[in-house]
């Protein structure tokens, strides 16, 4: 079973040639280890350089910093092939779609030279620390601080639900460099903190409902000293940077959700063809066909919308509201698809030995991370 990309409009022949490389990598390096990594709650570090060697990490990084200098369509293909061919959450997309762009767009020449080549090769694993124990979507309400002391910042605070937290060598920490700023967003900055800095500690690898192999962590900063030069871009501009980069993150989540929904649907069609009830395949019942026909229609619409959004994003025309709408619609669609597909599995759908069970668990968070569905509606509604 492979993802049908024959009728896609967002990609060219080079994109599709790259797709086969990604597909082979997933089949060889990722999927055979799925159960082991899920049980361990971690994707081992040694997999990252293997992905880097094939150009599967940060392909949009300019060639002068060790990347391939490609467009976001290559990132999208990585997301699609990983999302369709495995349920393992590797954390690659966090580095490729999110962190790399912050450093490309706002990093100093020195920061780019120091970090981007190692991110491309997989030598360095990164994370971005936004969420705190007491603040989720309210980024302006963060309490982690970075106070100046001579030519250093002293970072204090705690972050939680941080993807790649156990493996990360470099963390982009969102913090207050001016806690008294009014309005509050003007006091937010992004500071690079290396994991070997004294005072930095990793907390638990958190026990989640799904995405078992993804290391998701608590991080603690106690008088962590970093040079002033570790500020990403301008001090006090962090909130603006976050708002500028969130559309790409939300499009990435939308692509993953659409692909995951398609995987669940295709596997369910195979299941109902084979599984029998009352002497005939489940697919022969009208209710089964009607449910699947409805989902297939919505998936067809979804792929057309993904290609539209991708094309706009690659032309730098996708607006924050459009990206929010994409994340809202596709993650809600994924939730509907996995729920109805699990129902068509009957009792088997509640057993973890069937892929739909893992997909059901993993899909739930897509309506939460990157901004909840409710926040997406608020962002869209503000522009009405």
Running along the chain, 384 residues long, what does each successive block of 10 average in pLDDT? Answer: 81 94 97 95 96 97 97 97 95 96 97 98 97 78 93 97 97 95 91 98 95 95 98 96 92 97 98 95 97 98 97 95 98 98 97 96 96 95 93
Phi/psi for 128 (5° steps) reads -125, 130
Catalytic residue among 249, 321, 322, 378: 249
pLDDT value of position 1: 76
What does the pLDDT read at residue 136? 66
To the query of whether residue 249 is one of the catalytic residues in this protein, the response is yes
Query: Of 219, 230, 143, which is closest to residue 187 (Cα–Cα)?
Result: 143
Question: What is the greatest pairwise CA distance in the chain?
Answer: 79
* pTM of full prediction above 0.85: yes
Q: Tell me how far the alpha carbon of residue 160 is from its chain's centroid.
A: 16
- Give 75-125 as a DSSP string: HHHHHHHHHHH-----SHHIIIIIIHHHHHHH--HHHHHHHHHHHHHTSS-
**Domains located in the chain, CATH noted:** 13-124 (1.10.540.10), 127-236 (2.40.110.10), 240-381 (1.20.140.10)
What's residue 137's pLDDT?
A: 67
Structure tokens at 47: 């997999």
The residues that bridge with 120 in the sheet, in sequence order, are none
Q: How many CA atoms lie within 13 A of 73 on its CB side?
A: 21
């Amino acid at each position: 079973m492979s993802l049908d990309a024959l009728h896609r409009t967002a990609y060219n022949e080079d994109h599709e040639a790259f797709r086969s490389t990604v597909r082979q990598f997933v089949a060889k390096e990722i999927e055979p280890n799925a159960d082991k990594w899920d049980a361990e709650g971690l994707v081992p570090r040694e997999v990252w350089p293997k992905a880097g060697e094939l150009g599967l990490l940060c392909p949009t990084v300019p060639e002068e910093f060790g990347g391939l200098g490609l467009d976001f369509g290559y990132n999208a293909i990585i997301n699609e092939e990983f999302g369709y061919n495995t349920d393992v959450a590797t954390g690659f997309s966090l580095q490729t779609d999110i962190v790399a762009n912050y450093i490309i767009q706002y990093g100093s020449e020195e920061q780019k030279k120091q970090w981007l080549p190692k991110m491309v090769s997989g030598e360095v694993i990164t994370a971005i620390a936004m969420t705190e124990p007491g603040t989720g979507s309210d980024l302006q309400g963060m309490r982690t601080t970075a106070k100046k002391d001579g030519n250093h910042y002293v970072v204090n605070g705690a972050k939680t639900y941080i993807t790649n937290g156990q493996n990360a060598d470099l963390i982009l920490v969102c913090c207050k460099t001016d806690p008294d700023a009014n309005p509050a967003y003007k006091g937010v900055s992004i500071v690079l903190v290396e994991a070997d800095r004294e005072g930095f500690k990793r907390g638990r690898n958190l026990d989640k409902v799904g995405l078992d192999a993804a290391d998701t962590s608590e991080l603690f900063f106690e008088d962590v000293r970093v040079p002033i030069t570790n500020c990403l871009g301008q001090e006090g501009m962090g909130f603006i940077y976050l708002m500028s980069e969130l559309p790409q993150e939300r499009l990435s989540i939308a692509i993953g959700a659409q692909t995951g929904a398609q995987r669940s649907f295709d596997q369910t069609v195979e299941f109902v063809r084979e599984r029998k009830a009352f002497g005939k395949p489940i697919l022969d019942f009208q209710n089964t066909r009607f449910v699947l026909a409805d989902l297939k229609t919505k998936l067809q619409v979804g792929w057309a919308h993904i290609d539209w959004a991708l094309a706009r994003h690659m032309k730098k025309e996708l607006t924050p509201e459009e990206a929010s709408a994409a994340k809202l619609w596709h993650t809600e669609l994924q939730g509907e698809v996995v729920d109805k597909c699990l129902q068509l599995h009957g009792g088997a759908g509640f057993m973890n030995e069937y892929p739909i069970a893992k997909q059901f668990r993993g899909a739930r968070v897509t309506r939460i991370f990157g901004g909840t569905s409710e926040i997406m509606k608020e962002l869209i509604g503000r522009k009405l």
